[in-house]
Amino acid sequence: MQDHDSTIELGSIVNAVTALLNQDAGLGLLVGLLVGLLAYFTVSKLLGVSRTTGGKSTVERQFRNVFAIMDEVRRQSIIRYYMEKYECGREEAMRRAVDERQREANRW
């Protein structure tokens, strides 16, 4: 009888330890998931702030997309060129530069 009781007691201990480890693993998984989500949202907010347009108009965003391969100095030079060429403001110069670039792309 004592063997049977010790087997039950040993089985209970093993089950208890297994349940405890499963709870710790589940808790660890939950904590890891929460930390991961927190990190994701933090990073996305930080990247979102740097990617915001900062009040840029649609024309300026489109201009920057079309001329994205150029550095900022070159883009500003293009804007100044179109402002002088057409005697217009900054927004209009960017719109004309984008329109002309699109016409050139469609020509070929």
Assess contact for 66 and 95: CB atoms under 8 A. no
**What pLDDT, on the 0 to 100 scale, is given for residue 16?**
65
**What pLDDT, on the 0 to 100 scale, is given for residue 68?**
94
Give the mean pLDDT per block of 10 residues along the chain (108 residues): 54 65 67 76 72 72 95 96 96 96 88
Assess contact for 59 and 95: CB atoms under 8 A. yes
Assess contact for 97 and 88: CB atoms under 8 A. no
Q: Which pTM value belongs to this model?
A: 0.49
Sign of CA dihedral 100, 82, 72, 59: negative
